[in-house]
Structure 1
Amino acid sequence: MSQTVQPYPLHFKPDFKERVWGGRALERFGYDVPEGHIGEGWMIADHPNGVSHVLNGELAGQGLDQIREKLGAEWFGSKGSHSGNGRFPLLIKLLDCNDDLSVQVHPTDDYAGLPKGELGKTEMWYVLDAKPDAKIIYGLKSGVNRESFAAAIAEHRIMDSLQVVSVQAGDTFYIPAGTVHALCAGVLVAEIQQNSDTTYRLYDYDRPGLDGKPRELHIEDSLNVTAYEGAGATRMKTDGAKPGEWLTLARSPYFVTDKGIVDGEWKVSTTPESFDILIVAEGTGAIRWGAGTLDAKAGDCFLIPAPLGEYTLAGRFTVLRSRVE
């Protein structure tokens, strides 16, 4: 791969993951989803546990890990090329929650128990679709401390400590490390997160995993990393988004995510500091830049290199844009 590849928007073949809670909903986006209970599509991924590969243009067939090694300093931007562990800084997923996910919590970057090379995991969710009665677990009830939480876990009444909220399509949730959370059955979610695969499980409904055995729990690590006073988690409805304007959904030290409505043509631009990641939430259209056009439809995720500069979103679709600031 030469260093003279002209920057262009990258579209990736996802890396799909079977999960005990997964289903078949990711097929609706036109992906060739493998057999089984597929819970996660790793859409833009550069991690030892999963890498996405480019589908289009000169770099077709290359993994994001290869692109990062050859072009990362130039293509990811002055801030986007620094992640804390040398890899691409974000991991972008689509999640099909056909059943409840385990109740879990993620560590911060400085947690002593982190596996070697792993970062903490601050993330956010954008709800693409939700069944009428869908709910999620989002944080602890007020007044829960380490002692009372540990007792509730030991006495098999953890659910009494957790906050359960109803969700609808278009809702967004920012989940800083330390926030206890769980997606529940009936939601389809876009997840933007630090490039980490470290999850501590508190509770898994006493169900068997894919191998028929209960999945491992991580009670001590979970109790250690939970932010009992709150970690700054926020949620919002996003139906206030207007065509041609960015509505900020989440601002973290690791990413800033905005929602935009494309209705016709909208000229936007990368910055020298960061790539743009685009997730098409609904609708259809195209991305146009100096040298070409790329079709865009619901479920597509694109990486726009920092040096591309100006590009145009055209058509009628809803898009999530994430970048590093």
Structure 2
Amino acid sequence: MTLYPLLFKPEMKERVWGGRNLERFGLELPDGVIGEGWTIADHANGTSTVVNGELAGWGLDRIRGQYGREVFGSKGYSEDASVRFPLLVKLLDCQDDLSIQVHPSDDYEKLPAGELGKTEMWYILDAKPGATIIYGLKPGVTRESLAEAMAEDRIMDSLQEVPVEAGDSFYIPAGTVHALRAGVLVAEIQQNSDTTYRLYDYNRPGLDGKPRELHIEDSLNVTAYEGAGATMMKTHIDGPQQWLRLAASPYFVTEKGIVDGEWKLSTSPESFVIHIICEGSGEVVSGGRRVEVKAGDCLLIPASLGEYALEGQMTVLRSYLP
């Protein structure tokens, strides 16, 4: 079979801080407060499913087993069947504040079995006026002072609060204390991990009515007190058909571009390409096949595809393995 750009149906996740805003992308939401749409996922806790072409109905895990090297590329594929797709891509609807949290690196000795660390990045798709996020510790905060602030229920005094607007980008290496807050809609690209350590959760109940678990010791262990290399940027682009690099990590590279008309691109045999459509609409064209796309769509371009084109009027993100 000739492979083609794969469009996925997200797996939706109910979260205590979620809402219904993902419906604005034309996505079907189950009942409840939906905080996350896992748009490209190959994880024990969620798998996204192809909705177009001959592979419609296939989960990314099944594609991995049948077409892993051709789709993932030489850097993304492993002969070890237990090694999953290396990235996890989400859309996040934050109607309330998320917990104050931090993620471990790959070498943390207490990682759950089979889990990776979690370096990630955010691109702000939309933000209400006055919206902010928590992004790192204030200068001079140590393990001892952070532990004391947590014990005295004044952790917010140790954290940096940053205003955000649509188009802002944040790189969040493992060890960076952070939290999305109410009023933002976000695209997230991350290592394929579902490990989060909570430092603080506003003393609120979870969906089951019980307080959500905190992970005090693990959080203190993995926090990078001298800074983890987190960076943030505005993402203005002067014109179409050029890539602006937003994040470059050992695990992924993410760039932003504006499509105006036809933009000819290509994959390499080493890595797949992921495109998130942030604004606008158009088509992804390859080998005479056209896939219609709109804001909120997420595509996986197989590494073996070679030449393809983006056509239309769109703002897109591009992610691939370094």
What fraction of aligned residue pairs are identical, expressed as a percent?
73
Residue 216 of structure 1: how far off its partner (Å): 0.1
CA RMSD of aligned residues (A): 1.1
Q: Residue 67 of structure 1 aligns to a residue in which SS?
A: helix
Match of 1:292 among 289, 292, 301: 289
- Distance in 2, Cα, partners of 1:132 & 1:81: 42
- Distance in 1, Cα, partners of 2:59 & 2:239: 35
- Distance in 1, Cα, partners of 2:205 & 2:314: 40
- Distance in 2, Cα, partners of 1:94 & 1:214: 25
TM-score between the two structures when normalised by the length of structure 2: 0.98
| 1:45-194 paired onto structure 2 within 5 Å | 45-82=41-78, 86-194=83-191
2:175 maps to amino acid: G
- Segments of 5+ residues of structure 2 without an aligned counterpart are none
Deviation per residue, 1:79-116 (Å, 9 max, x gap): 12259961000000000000000000000001011000
1:135 maps to amino acid: T
CA contact (8 A) 1:149 1:161 kept: yes
Comparing 27-36 with 69-78, greater Cα deviation is found at: 69-78
Q: Residue 54 of structure 2 aligns to a residue in which SS?
A: coil
Q: Which residue of structure 2 lines up, in the alignment, with residue 19 of structure 1?
A: 15
CA contact (8 A) 2:237 2:257 kept: no
Match of 2:255 among 246, 250, 258: 258
- Distance in 1, Cα, partners of 2:239 & 2:200: 40
1:322 maps to amino acid: S
Residue 241 of structure 1: how far off its partner (Å): 5.2
Judging changes above 3 Å, is the alpha-carbon distance between structure 1 residues 258 and 47 closer, same or farther for their aligned structure 2 residues? Answer: same
- Distance in 2, Cα, partners of 1:291 & 1:224: 53
Q: Does 1:198 align with 2:158?
A: no
- Distance in 2, Cα, partners of 1:229 & 1:319: 33
Q: Residue 22 of structure 2 aligns to a residue in which SS?
A: helix
- Distance in 2, Cα, partners of 1:29 & 1:192: 18
Residue 240 of structure 1: how far off its partner (Å): 2.7
Comparing 71-80 with 111-120, greater Cα deviation is found at: 71-80
TM-score between the two structures when normalised by the length of structure 1: 0.97
Deviation per residue, 1:216-260 (Å, 9 max, x gap): 000000000000011100000001353000100000000000000
2:13 maps to amino acid: K
1:33 maps to amino acid: L
2:302 maps to amino acid: P
Q: Which residue of structure 1 lines up, in the alignment, with residue 34 of structure 2?
A: 38
Residue 161 of structure 1: how far off its partner (Å): 0.2
- Distance in 1, Cα, partners of 2:151 & 2:234: 36
Structure 1's consecutive aligned runs of 4 or more residues displaced over 2 angstroms after TM superposition are 82-85
Residue 188 of structure 1: how far off its partner (Å): 0.1
CA contact (8 A) 1:209 1:215 kept: yes
1:21 maps to amino acid: W
- Distance in 2, Cα, partners of 1:74 & 1:296: 23
- Distance in 2, Cα, partners of 1:206 & 1:243: 46
Q: Does 1:231 align with 2:222?
A: no
